[in-house]
Each structure stands twice: as C-alpha cells, then as structure tokens.
Amino acid sequence: MKAIIEIASNTDMHRHAMAAARAHANGNTRATDYRLGFESAAQLFAELTTERMRTLKTLRREGAQSIYSLAKTLDRNYSNVHSDVQRLMALGLVERGDDGVSVPFDELEIHVPLNVFVA
C-alpha cells in the first residue's frame, strides 16, 4: 500500500473517499491507497519538512521502534523527534503499535502540479 500526498481541494478529497467507499461496498476489499490532501504547496511543504521526511525514511528502513531509539538513530533531540512523530501520526503517515512507531506504507508519492505555483 502507498500513501499519495497531493494538492487537492476538500471536494476532490471527498470524491476520492466516496469512490473508495463505493468500491469497498461493492466487494472490492483490495487495500486502497491512503490519500492525504493539502490545499496548497506551501501547506504541504510546511508539514512535510526535510526532518519529517527523513524520519519517515528512517522508520521505513529500520522498522518499528521507540521514539527514544528513533531520536538516537536520527541524531536529533528527543523532544523535536517526538513532536515530529506526533504530527506525522496526526497526518496518518505514522502508526503506533506494540513495537513502537512505524510507517505502514511501502511507498510515498507526492503530486504537486506546476500550476499551483502560478500567482
């Protein structure tokens, strides 16, 4: 399963959710991709900072672990890593389990149309 992150209106995100719900109701139980939409490129890049992306990459590579262990692996301050993980959890990109925090996706796609940068 992959996470698709994109610039999308609330209407677009609602349309994707409804299509997934209809497919599930019709018996298509194949795991659907997780979709996360932001209203602007600025919002997307403010949320998915370089350090948060590095955190996702490290969790995917190293597997589930405690935030303390993750902070040591990343060579970052515990409280900063904790804050980043909390935000990534709120966005649905990180999960907490018995073994610690982990990334439930094999792949992450970010879609940013070039026309969003035009004033």
Over the stretch 16-70, which tens digit does the pLDDT of each residue have?
Answer: 666 666 766 777 756 678 889 998 889 999 999 999 999 999 999 999 999 999 9
Instruction: Specify the CATH number for the domain of residue 102.
Output: 1.10.10.10
Residue 14 has pLDDT above 60, yes or no: no
Q: Quick check: 82 pLDDT over 90?
A: yes
pTM across the whole model: 0.81
Residues of the domain holding 106? 2-117
For the chain, what is the domain count? 1
Listed in sequence order, the residues at least 6 apart from 78 whose beta carbon sits closer than 8 Å to its beta carbon are: 67, 68, 71
- State the CB neighbour count (10 A cutoff) for residue 78: 12
- pLDDT top residue among 119 and 71: 71
Q: Tell me what pLDDT residue 30 has.
A: 62
Average pLDDT, the chain: 88
